[in-house]
Structure 1
């Protein structure tokens, strides 16, 4: 029999995940048969997915145990991990929802509750939501065309066609731009014509400042005019190669955002939302500065946030959401609009549990067909892992460590850098590492590996620069990604210090890193034009074929100081 506290926790879980109230099953961690029966509400419904990173099949994805909040972000969503997140949202430990939203007992939970995502399963869920909510729209926050072998090898065509079949209505972008301006424009103007609106108010031409894409679209939903404004990743030409979009400028562009919001309102928009790829901290700041936005559907930082963060500004409140990654979640926002204004709302972030949702037959057939020509390459068995392999976390992950070890071994390097990418699926101990799974970690259009000589001072400078991108107290100076993964070098970091003063006590093989000495440093994903080298997947595949069994990695993470009892840091 439940006590009052347990019952309140159960209600909170239900509100966060959208599941029906079934106390015995919920408290046991089992899913009721009506898990995805979401009561209707209001007259405007928006579904939101983001950062699927080209994952057409169900996957495992471990949430971070390190997601440190600095300054005003300390202790606030999305910088809550593990038990701190569960407590904040009233989610009961050991349940299916705890598995979805945290890293806790991940391997055991994954073996119990199974894989998540998959476009065939997502299609079934989207259609189910649509059936109960006429005129609802599906928004795609970007990072959709990149992150898998087949997306890379088809020049994004597999994901373009999958999204059309899924029923995406509006999208914006980030990694999409790494296919090059010409390819992106071709898709938007041809493949998406009359089907998907690609919107981005902050992407303009370098010469005259003309909009490259539509800044927003107006949709009529059950008689209500809704404006959807696009916000692409503002630091695309910095975080990714500039030469891929040489004639376009990005940026946050608050002033233009305000103009677009005001214009949409003047044209009769009763609801104004932003489809953003800023990252949640940037969205929160933007929501405090730009007025008239009802909700921001955010992405980029891959944070699964069960309920919106409510941001007050000069003229009201903006709801800021973030819907995770890898097809793992589907956000559903319902607005009740009366008398030209929103009088109520409800939000659910639904975990997409693949074993609870029957795959859509048409989408499943499409996925099978699009992967078939590459089956031999995808299914090549490279090694078996004895360790759980994952990426995601401010400093390192076991798959990142595997890439670093491969770089240092194959390249003969003293140290190695690997980008702090947030995408990349997880493997459980005992899983086979196929080329398919390796490409989940490495599939980009600028994959060259490198080997350079760097002084200790240069190494520290690079680490300080990337660290500031992550931990600058002003979100508008955070340029995306997690900390560069470092192989071979141990160090101490103080996230609360200023640039140039965060990194200290750097050692290599037990000896202090000499500022003037040159070291051989391997890396990959160079953003400069004209850099050539063996693709990173070939480097790692060579290493894996040689060792055959991946033993548990010694994770090279820094000693973190100066953050106190931070609810975004659990080791």
Structure 2
């Protein structure tokens, strides 16, 4: 396979891609849209600071896809997953509110991750309602050991035979609540991929193999360095905004942000089964994009039952709330401040979730609170020793920063308040933390500390004693906190310090 083209990030959507008279294909990628039905705030870095502007929405995505297809009819539109979870309407309907919308925007195939939040059984119901396939080479039934989903499909596009292979997130049965993987198990896919590649090449005689992956960008790069034969990898899970593709050997890798704020476009030219040219564009789904009227109507119908509830103003913030930073985030500081005040605990923990659209300074609505934590779990408490605290944080740091991408199994660093952690990011597993301070005192290995948390990802069940769920749900705790702290301040505190 040969590559002659350079990445072109300035291609206009209406520009016809000029290539030689051989076979051409356009691939559109959506990943990690997290059920953001309509326009929402998105964060962008400019120099030394963040700016915010509205982006996204499935009606605008549909319009852009139609524009691209009008110019490049040989086109595939693939979804890398994290689509059915992330907002209140999706959570309340277990993803069902999305079905008419997703079925109308022309997706060819998908894979999954947070889709299993409603249980594998419910997700099977959603998949049966879709007009395109869910693909996963690495999900198996615990009883029969048979694949739960098709590993691949072959699509005929403009005379080309394209093999689409799905690779779901492999961490679902390892780091997420047990209900997510009831009756099924997940593998990395490394062993299952080569035989399927052989089938596609020899039996199906495809011209191109595209991997639709939700492993994560670092994981995909390692996998592709070990498994040959994938031509294009559409990567998901880690919310990377790649303005240029990455080449791993002969494989082109792209990833396209999150929240449906971006689409990835990759135009390739083939000759005798070889990619001889390619161009790429990371497309911002801008607010001024004229929405597709059919999909816009479907979005309004899906959101209408929830509008009165979600538009309620519940507070005001002076701090821009976002999850755009790895070690600590203003959005989670707000969440943790509410946990501390609700419980009177010394420490507070939540998971390092990546999803959650920013909240800009000004009014906070109930919709904003559900975007922060759509699951609305109970506020929980536990007692942890200093030794358990260190072990839990070391485990989390390894899952975030492991030099082996296959051992990276989390989002960002676990969100914490009430302590300060000094650590060396480059040290091996179990040896990163130099000091932990609770207040002004160093944490004592045998001493117990009270901690508030949400979900088992905040404090895994193997840690601590006297674990309790309170009667208060976290949305109520955040509302109560806002009622006595206006405007809200939730600035970064330097909880983690890299030394």
Question: If the TM-score is normalised by the length of the shorter chain, which range does it land in?
Answer: over 0.9
Change (3 A) 1:16 1:151: same
1:212 aligns with 2:144: no
Distance 2:93 2:306 in 1: 10
Tell me the residue number matched to 1:121.
Answer: 60
Q: Describe how 1:344-383 pairs up with structure 2 within 5 A.
A: 344-355=277-288, 357-383=289-315
How much does 1:552 deviate? 4.9
Distance 1:378 1:548 in 2: 20
Which moved further from structure 2: 505-514 or 399-408? 505-514
Cα pair 1:487 1:556 within 8 Å, conserved: no
Distance 1:300 1:268 in 2: 30
Cα pair 1:396 1:556 within 8 Å, conserved: yes
Cα pair 2:32 2:236 within 8 Å, conserved: yes
Q: Describe how 1:464-479 pairs up with structure 2 within 5 A.
A: 464-479=394-409
Q: Secondary structure at the match of 2:54?
A: coil
Q: 1:198-225, CA deviations, whole angstroms, 9 ceiling, x for partnerless residues?
A: 0000111123321100101100110100
How much does 1:288 deviate? 0.6
Q: 1:273-323, CA deviations, whole angstroms, 9 ceiling, x for partnerless residues?
A: 1000011000001111111100110000000011111012xxxx1111111
Cα pair 1:401 1:556 within 8 Å, conserved: no
Q: Secondary structure at the match of 2:192?
A: helix
Q: Which runs of 5+ in 1 are unaligned?
A: 1-11, 20-34, 63-98, 562-571
Distance 2:484 2:190 in 1: 52
Match of 1:54 among 27, 31, 35: 35
Q: Describe how 1:7-26 pairs up with structure 2 within 5 A.
A: 15-19=8-12
Q: Describe how 1:490-509 pairs up with structure 2 within 5 A.
A: 490-509=420-439
Cα pair 1:61 1:425 within 8 Å, conserved: yes
Cα pair 2:100 2:298 within 8 Å, conserved: no
Change (3 A) 1:172 1:124: same
Structure with higher strand content: 2
Q: 1:328-354, CA deviations, whole angstroms, 9 ceiling, x for partnerless residues?
A: 111111221222332222221111111
Tell me the residue number matched to 1:45.
Answer: 26
Match of 1:307 among 237, 240, 244: 244
Cα pair 1:279 1:300 within 8 Å, conserved: yes
Q: 1:487-508, CA deviations, whole angstroms, 9 ceiling, x for partnerless residues?
A: 0101101111122211122111
How much does 1:554 deviate? 4.2
Distance 1:131 1:485 in 2: 45
Change (3 A) 1:494 1:379: same
Change (3 A) 1:341 1:15: closer
Change (3 A) 1:106 1:38: farther
How much does 1:363 deviate? 1.8
Distance 1:485 1:551 in 2: 17
1:384 aligns with 2:316: yes
How much does 1:393 deviate? 2.1
Q: 1:487-532, CA deviations, whole angstroms, 9 ceiling, x for partnerless residues?
A: 0101101111122211122111211111111111011022679985
Tell me the residue number matched to 1:167.
Answer: 106
Distance 2:439 2:142 in 1: 47
Distance 1:509 1:340 in 2: 63
Q: Which runs of 5+ in 2 are unaligned?
A: 1-5, 462-466
Figure out how many residues of one structure are paired with residues of the other and give that number: 483
Q: Describe how 1:279-294 pairs up with structure 2 within 5 A.
A: 279-294=216-231
